[in-house]
Amino acid sequence: MGDKTDTIEARLFDIAVDFLSKVDRRDFYQNIVGFCARLFDSDVCALFVRTEQIGGEPRVCLVARKLPEGHPDGRRMDPAIVAEHRREFSYAITDSEPYDGITGRIASTGESVIENGGREGISKRQGHQGKWDAYVWQTKLFERMLGVPIPDGARSQDIIGVIKVENKFSGDYTKADEALLLRIGKSLASSLQELIDAGRELRPEIDEYEYRIPRRTPETFERQKTGEVVIKHSMTAICHSDVDYFRHQKPRARLDERLPLVLGHETTGEVYQVVGDPKYYGSDVLIQPQDRVVVIPLIPCWTCEVCTGKYGENYCASSRFMASNAPGSLRTIYKYDPRLILKISDPAKERCALFTEPMSNVVQILTELGFDENTPDAAHLTMAPFGKQEFTYFHVDGESFSSIFDSITSEEPNPRTLYLLKNTLKDTPTMELGERSINHYNLMKKGLGLLGCDPGEEPELSRTIEQPKVLILGGGVHGFILAALLAKVHRIPKDRIVVTGRAGSRLIRFRTLAERIGVGAYIENHQYTRTRQLRDDLVAAGTPGEYDFIFECVGGPMVGANIRLAMEVAKPNGVIGLLGLTDQAVKVDFGRLLGKRLFAKGTYRGSIGAYQRALSYIEQQADIEEHILQLIDQTTTFKGQTGFHSIANEFELEQLFTQAKDKQAFGRLVISELA
């Protein structure tokens, strides 16, 4: 009967190990130590593997561990103790005494150790003097230990690893425990040998810090953790910005500064590992392994006046951003700041949550322009929430004007400041001020506003615009999301939302979708050379007249032309919201801007609050979720698949990005599996 029971136990164990071996390699080892800790009713389990990567000598190095809940650092060795000892979590394999601790003794002699006598018992053994004596044994954290060697399956005399369990709750470790742990080690041998043969880096993972120069305090450094959660890649949507980097179609100085660069910033992931007990930002909910999350690509400094004030972290001048000046999401696994992930409450909605990043940009501009879901079909506009400045340099012409304007806006210390534009020239009518070139990026990066007004006037800076008429210039992803939020969240009726987009087959699908979400008219001709063309098309579409809000959602080389069009069709006192970015200088008709008393507002990315609201719209409003899913390109075929694409190597990634560059279909290509 005993033999039969042993056979069943062995079979069950082999099945369990075979199942675990099918998952990610690092999951496999971490699950094994957790499995062993439970199997042996132990507080601690550690797995070591042989390596010569550390100092060129044979050692066994820690690759997975489970530490006690009562451990001073939660579930891992204290980094301060590691730094004090300046040693690895590894132990030398030697031919004779002195051994490098009990772990080194097991690896060197190939003999198991069972010790149930605490420090007094361990001190009687050869090699008892280990690097953690003062920390482990003297503090009486661990009182019992069982450690066994893992022999090479092909050459049983060679030791390729050690596995230990410690602090058994239910009594002493026994010979039966030793036999079972040896069996586990034997089952692990082939997998560990593969790891050794592959030459994988075996140094243990420790906390990572970076040292940065703060923006506002000279001659100092600040120390900051790079992350306390490990994220495993799940999905990434390929954005036009990613494609521009792929094609090297960015300013040469920027490419020289930032390349090589990991791409991807519209992304979701799975929490793979957690250090300590971090909570989701602004929440009491603990971050747990296997949580599905939206990864916020914006990385603020958290300490400057912008981050600690009410401006919004998106305007932090020291911030970084995935796939821009920080590594992007196309990594199999990476550490990240726990404050910058949002839990997806229903994993089934992850595909829709993938578009939280572009939606956050839209939420940000709508919020700054006074749209609130609690007051439908209206906007409560506040143009100077953080102060105002006067700008009166219209007596300066040409490049000198541009230099003054760009210098003032680039040095503006307060984001979201309003500039009151006033014509003080007595002999020049306002409408004859003409076009002047300015740096569009300064307006966007700092979220600045421009308001045309008369000399000596103190304009009203807050007002409510009821039943607004909206024109969206741009039929891409941002234009689609903007139309969806205006219709579904802010309840703007269909007959007061108009979208324009480039003519072509790629946007035929957008037209169908736009009509479904509640857009009154969709005009398929966006590259206008004359404003009259736009006016004629608006009349033909049954939506003549002027608009309260015009949103520029295209960016790139079309920004200047779009701003000109917006000024033409805006009502007096109308609002122009700028979403699209460009690195180029743009010409602005300041005569029309001042003459019609227009308000133009730039925004830059989304704040953390905007990401939170965007995800809440996706998760809580079924009609938003339904429409946002249409942003996934379901027509482009790659490796015989549409919609979601798996990538096995860098060559396939190049092929997919090439298709993203050349594709004619509406929506994003999505990478759903990254080997």
The answer to whether 324 and 292 are in contact (CB under 8 A) is no
Can you list the alpha helix ranges (DSSP code H) found in 247-355? Answer: 252-258, 305-308, 350-353
Length of the chain: 675
State residue 269's pLDDT score: 96
Please report where in the chains the tokens 């966006």 appear, as a residue. Answer: 526
Roughly how many angstroms between the first and final C-alpha of the chain, as a whole number? 46
Domain boundaries, the chain: 2-197, 209-354, 367-608
Distance separating alpha carbons of residues 198 and 130, to the nearest angstrom: 30
148 burial (CB, 10 Å; 0-12 / 13-18 / 19+) is buried
Q: Please give, one letter per residue, the 3-state secondary structure of 201-234.
A: CCCCCCCCEEEECCCCCCCCCEEEECCCEEEEEE
Q: Are 421 and 438 in contact (CB under 8 A)?
A: no
Q: Contact 167/143 with Cβ under 8 angstroms?
A: yes
Q: Are 340 and 282 in contact (CB under 8 A)?
A: no
Between CA 437 and CA 567 the distance in angstroms is 15
Structure-token pair, residue 507: 């946007």
Strand partners, 564: none
Tokens coding 308? 């600690």
In contact, 127 and 101? CB cutoff 8 Å:
yes
CATH superfamily of 2-197: GAF domain (3.30.450.40)
3-state helix, strand, coil in the chain (%, to 5): 35, 25, 40
pLDDT value at position 285? Answer: 93
φ/ψ of 422, rounded to 5, equals: -130, 130
Q: CB burial class (10 A; 0-12, 13-18, 19+) of residue 612?
A: buried
**CA atoms of 229 and 272, how far apart (whole Å):** 7
Nearest to 632 by CA among 640, 622, 643: 643
What is the DSSP code (8-state) at residue 205? P
Here the tokens at position 340 are 């910058």
The edge-to-edge listing of strands for the beta sheet with 113-115 is: 90-92, 59-66, 42-51, 159-168, 145-151, 113-115
Query: Could you read off the pLDDT of 210-265 as tens digits, one per residue?
Result: 665 666 666 667 776 666 788 999 999 999 889 888 888 888 888 888 888 899 99
How far apart (Å, rounded) are the C-alpha atoms in residues 298 and 151? 48
Ramachandran angles phi, psi of 149, nearest 5°: -80, 155
Q: Supply the DSSP symbol for 283.
A: S
**One-letter amino acid for residue 120 of the chain:** E
CA separation (Å) from 165 to 41, 67, 276?
A: 9, 10, 21
Q: What token pair was written down for 133?
A: 């004596």
Contact 441, 410 (CB under 8 A): no
Tokens of 66: 């489970």
Among candidate residues 221, 227, 223, the one with its CA nearest the CA of residue 207? 227
- CATH match for 367-608 among 3.40.50.720, 3.40.190.10, 3.20.20.70, 3.30.1280.10: 3.40.50.720
Any idea which residue has 């919201």 for tokens? 577
The torsion angles phi and psi of 252, rounded to 5 degrees, stand at -55, -40
Q: What is the token pair recorded at 495?
A: 């007959």
Tokens of 525: 């001709």
Rounded-to-integer distance, Cα 547 and Cα 468, Å: 8
The yes-or-no answer to whether 2-197 and 367-608 have a common fold is no
108/19 Cα distance (integer angstroms)? 31
- Residue stretches of the chain with pLDDT short of 50: 1-2, 23-26, 71-87, 132-139, 200-206, 505, 526
Measured CA to CA, the distance from residue 436 to residue 600 in angstroms comes to 15
pLDDT at 83: 42
Tens of pLDDT, residue by residue over 182-206, are 988 888 887 777 766 655 444 444 4
Topology of domain 209-354, per CATH? Quinone Oxidoreductase; Chain A, domain 1 (3.90.180)
